[in-house]
Chains A and B, each alone.
Chain A
Amino acid sequence: MMSKQYKYETLVRAFHADIYRYAVWLIRDKSIAEDVVQETFLRAWKSLDSLQDEHAAKAWLITILRRENARRFERKQLDLVDIDDVVTVDERATSDGHADTHALHAAIDQLADEYKEPLIMQVLLGFSGEEIAQQLQLNKNTVMTRLFRARSQLKHIMSQDKQTGGFANG
């Protein structure tokens, strides 16, 4: 039992930050994201014995989190979040409050989920194209196309933003 407990605590401390950040970007609501992260880790605890390859722990947790998030919609026990009422840029801003960071947050929020999700997996979690493809059940070419479009759209949004001189919150 101790070894399982120690393994779990190691898992929590190593990955909770990345998992939480991913959840916030995916779910767009900090409170719901924290709930889903808690459910994710509880589920991970229950099936910890099935984690054989510790190098795959992060991908394993993301798989659980995406499944838990999907369950949230299936159960309809939690209120769905209106896309217009989601976490604002200011709420998620880092402490330096840098204007470019605000603008980037807004730009990321404007991306469609099919573009945003692989982008965040690649940049935040460090997943390869193959790993993203496995998570999203897509082929690698599709993933690379979505990454290309995501950054292309980001670049476009940011350049528009600079032209207008504003930092729209999306």
Chain B
Amino acid sequence: MDELTFRRHVLANPFSQDAQVIQAAHQDPVKQQFWHDLKQQELALQQALQIDVPHDLADKLLWEQVSQTDTANFSHPTPPRRPLWFAIAASVLLSISIGWVNFNSKEHKFYDDVIAHIEHVSTHEITGDVITLAALNSKLAKFGGVINAALGKILSANYCVIDGVESLHVQLGDPDNPTSVFILPKDVTVTEALSTNHIQGEILEYQSANVLIIGTVSQTFSQITEQLVEHLAFSR
């Protein structure tokens, strides 16, 4: 293989596996060196083309699709949002069920399980690993949900089963006093108001899902609730 043919071939495809090209390189140190240098340049080129991608680009693209092209297929929370006021102090979460009023037995059992889940599982779910918005959105996708902006620190995002209902449990905010967000299928009824004190709860009702927010720190809870109202949407 002559020099020009060889160079044209490897310059068009530096990682060619063509037998004739390989043989030509073996037989000629000049060709071999040229090819070696070219491969090094190609590796550098591959690296150079990998420019940084905005970390939230995928979420922006998903949100654009939600908000501009097909808004009819997505729902935001249906006003009014329903507050849940819990009667018992945060330090005795397990006893909360005693203080609840006006529940039918089915909902009562469900809330018991929610609080039991928070009490027993939540701290183990917070591993200290960084949970990206993209990772959260990939789990929300199962419910047809998407969040289009950062919500602050995402402590955990795990599927769980509460009272036989598959849900997504997300913890946000301060690791010592996290706010819990449960993404629930629409067929789960969580509508009863509760009496008041240290633990706050709120239900965001969407057309295809219900979102239950439970927190103990008023300011954080309110901020997270407002952010979810603004930035969380579900496909119908």
Tell me whether B44 and A104 are in contact (CB under 8 A): yes
Which residues of chain B are within 8 angstroms of A32 by Cβ–Cβ distance? Answer: none
Q: How many interface residues does A have (CB within 8 Å)?
A: 43
A7 to chain B, nearest CB (A): 11
With A42-B68, A148-B8, A151-B11 in contact, is A9–B141 under 8 Å at CB?
Answer: yes
**Is B52 interfacial (CB-CB < 8 Å)?**
yes
Tell me whether A42 and B65 are in contact (CB under 8 A): yes
Among B46, B70, B138, point to the contact of A45 (Cβ < 8 A). B70
**Is B62 interfacial (CB-CB < 8 Å)?**
yes
Which residues of chain B are within 8 angstroms of A114 by Cβ–Cβ distance? Answer: none
**Is B229 interfacial (CB-CB < 8 Å)?**
no
**Is B92 interfacial (CB-CB < 8 Å)?**
no
A31 to chain B, nearest CB (A): 11
**Is B106 interfacial (CB-CB < 8 Å)?**
no
A141 to chain B, nearest CB (A): 10
Docked Cα-Cα span, A129 to B16, in Å, equals 12
Tell me whether B235 and A20 are in contact (CB under 8 A): no
A74 to chain B, nearest CB (A): 21
A150 to chain B, nearest CB (A): 8
Residue pairs across A and B with CB atoms within 8 Å: the count is 114
Which of chain B's residues has its CB closest to A146's CB?
B12
Tell me whether A12 and B141 are in contact (CB under 8 A): no
Tell me whether B64 and A41 are in contact (CB under 8 A): yes
What sequence of 0s and 1s flags, for each residue 52-65 of chain B, a beta carbon within 8 Å of any chain A beta carbon? 11100110111011
**Is A16 interfacial (CB-CB < 8 Å)?**
yes
Tell me whether B14 and A16 are in contact (CB under 8 A): no
Among B42, B50, B144, point to the contact of A2 (Cβ < 8 A). B144
A34-66 CB contacts (< 8 Å) to partner B: 34, 37-38, 41-42, 45-46
B133 to chain A, nearest CB (A): 12
Tell me whether B52 and A12 are in contact (CB under 8 A): no
**Is A124 interfacial (CB-CB < 8 Å)?**
yes
**Is A76 interfacial (CB-CB < 8 Å)?**
no
B175 to chain A, nearest CB (A): 27
Tell me whether A123 and B53 are in contact (CB under 8 A): no
**Is B98 interfacial (CB-CB < 8 Å)?**
no
**Is A21 interfacial (CB-CB < 8 Å)?**
yes
With A9-B141, A21-B51, A123-B46 in contact, is A16–B41 under 8 Å at CB?
Answer: no
A107 to chain B, nearest CB (A): 9
Tell me whether A154 and B8 are in contact (CB under 8 A): no
Tell me whether B48 and A21 are in contact (CB under 8 A): no
B30 to chain A, nearest CB (A): 15
A158 to chain B, nearest CB (A): 7
A1-45 CB contacts (< 8 Å) to partner B: 1-2, 5-6, 8-9, 12-13, 16-17, 20-21, 24-25, 34, 37-38, 41-42, 45
Which residues of chain B are within 8 angstroms of A92 by Cβ–Cβ distance? Answer: 51
Docked Cα-Cα span, A25 to B51, in Å, equals 9
Q: List 24 A-B contacts (CB under 8 A).
A: A8-B62, A8-B65, A12-B62, A13-B134, A16-B53, A16-B58, A16-B61, A21-B49, A21-B53, A38-B61, A41-B61, A46-B69, A92-B51, A94-B47, A101-B47, A104-B44, A104-B45, A144-B13, A145-B8, A145-B12, A147-B11, A147-B12, A152-B7, A155-B11
Interface residues of A (CB under 8 A from B): 1-2, 5-6, 8-9, 12-13, 16-17, 20-21, 24-25, 34, 37-38, 41-42, 45-46, 92, 94-95, 100-101, 104-105, 108, 120, 123-124, 129, 144-145, 147-149, 151-152, 154-155, 158
